[in-house]
Structure 1
Amino acid sequence: MKKNEYSADLVNKGFWFTEFKKTIELYQTGKTSKEIKKMQEEENVYLAPSPDTGKRMVSTLQKRVECLPPEIIEHFLSFDISTQKMINLLAIMKNNRLFFEFMYEVYREERMLGKKELSDSSLRIFFKNKVQQSEKVASFTDGTIKRLSGAYKTFLRESGILEDSTNHYAAPIIDIQLENSIKASDWEPYYKAIMGVA
């Protein structure tokens, strides 16, 4: 999948924070992508419920990690869990244009306007606009859009941006070192999206 294409593939993927962290740890110990794939096939290091799910997890997690700036990978384990979860969210956004645009156009703007919670109508309007803008999104079924909406909310809950039992926004927490690394790279739009700033 080209990075500039819209995709509904997040309906089949999880936030997978524990597995994301494990992938970084494996890279830090010198494991190659091929070695990690082999470990998953032979040892099921991600505890996937099936071989097919394991393959999807390996491919997805490697893309998430490999898109990160090297200094973020290097210092990942020194960050607190809240910051680590934000890094995973950033990587998901970097790998999925539609989710990034949701974060930038809906979440960021609502935070800037002082809105307190994510409403179902905000998600409906976002997807309605994308259907009008893109033949690809227009090809998604209503069921796919409903599942994507659910996946987006799950990712925000698991990252800590939405409170667990509600759709109320919680202020994201980012380590100053990560903030500086992002601002010094081409990741600034992603930073603005998760922080809800102009």
Structure 2
Amino acid sequence: MIQNYNAGITSYALWFSEFKLCLSMYQEGNTLDDIKQASDSNNIFEMPSRDRAKRASRNLTKRLKALPENIINQFEFLDVNNQKLVALLSMMLTNRLLNEFVYEVYRNEIILGDRVLEEREMIEFITRKQMESEQIAKWTDETSKRVRGSLKTILRDAGLLKREKNIDIVLQPFIDIHLAKLMKQDYLNKELTALGGQN
């Protein structure tokens, strides 16, 4: 996992359908460089600009590279909800802030049974990280706000949050038993626990 914090998460999304296409192309024998080239030349991920397409393909291939091969091979046999969890996992493995957010904030909601993610909890998380990291301490209030929004959007897209009447309801996924087993085999116990699974 990368060690540095950054606010780059505001430039990315779960991109579930794009992630599925990237993974499918990889399993068909395309290299990560092939996928980047296809994105650069043919905009296969249908991004609105060349710059966006380039950033998306680099991010998606980086995420794919971070996933264990066993989980990549299991992907097509998972239901859509668990495929979204794999897409989220790929982001957690390449973004330290997201990884820690899911473990420290989302997981606590599951454990405590509160099931409502409040803005106060988001602010407390970022404030705590600002005390731990000089990088995050330099963020402006606007950057912090954008990062908090991105974190929530990613969890919503992954099926872990549902927006109802201006409230973010925390949802606990049903983690496929085969996926959970593979995560344990590949030493992703922390990530499994973060998602509410049994370690």
**TM-score with structure 1 setting the length:** 0.95
* Correspondence for 2:95: 96
Task: Give the letter for the 2:192 counterpart.
Answer: Y
* Correspondence for 1:156: 155
Secondary structure of 1:167's counterpart equals strand
What are the Cα deviations for residues 89-111 of structure 1, in whole angstroms up to 9, with x where unaligned?
11111111111111111111221
- What is the distance in 2 between the residues matched to 1:197 and 1:153? 23
Q: Please say if 1:133 is aligned against 2:132.
A: yes
- What is the distance in 2 between the residues matched to 1:31 and 1:197? 35
* Correspondence for 1:169: 170
- Higher RCO structure (Cα 8 Å, ≥6 apart): 1
Secondary structure of 1:163's counterpart equals strand
Q: Please say if 1:20 is aligned against 2:19.
A: yes
What are the Cα deviations for residues 68-90 of structure 1, in whole angstroms up to 9, with x where unaligned?
11011112111110000000111
* Correspondence for 1:193: 194
Task: Give the letter for the 2:17 counterpart.
Answer: T
Contact 1:15–1:158 (CA<8 Å) still a contact in 2?
A: yes
Contact 2:16–2:87 (CA<8 Å) still a contact in 1?
A: yes
- What is the distance in 2 between the residues matched to 1:29 and 1:161? 30
Contact 1:86–1:159 (CA<8 Å) still a contact in 2?
A: yes
- What is the distance in 2 between the residues matched to 1:75 and 1:94? 17
RMSD, matched Cα: 1.4
* Correspondence for 1:118: 117
Q: Which runs of 5+ in 1 are unaligned?
A: none
Contact 2:110–2:172 (CA<8 Å) still a contact in 1?
A: no
Q: Which runs of 5+ in 2 are unaligned?
A: none
Secondary structure of 1:195's counterpart equals coil
* Correspondence for 1:106: 105
- What is the distance in 1 between the residues matched to 2:127 and 2:90? 25
* Correspondence for 2:9: 10
- What is the distance in 2 between the residues matched to 1:99 and 1:51? 26
Q: Detail structure 1 runs of 4+ shifted over 3 Å in the superposition.
A: none
* Correspondence for 1:178: 179
Secondary structure of 2:51's counterpart equals helix
* Correspondence for 1:34: 33
* Correspondence for 2:69: 70
What are the Cα deviations for residues 141-185 of structure 1, in whole angstroms up to 9, with x where unaligned?
111110111111111111111114440111212211100001122
- What is the distance in 1 between the residues matched to 2:76 and 2:54? 25
Q: Give the number of the structure whose residues are more often strand, by fraction.
A: 2
Secondary structure of 2:195's counterpart equals helix
Task: Give the letter for the 1:191 counterpart.
Answer: L
- What is the distance in 2 between the residues matched to 1:4 and 1:55? 23
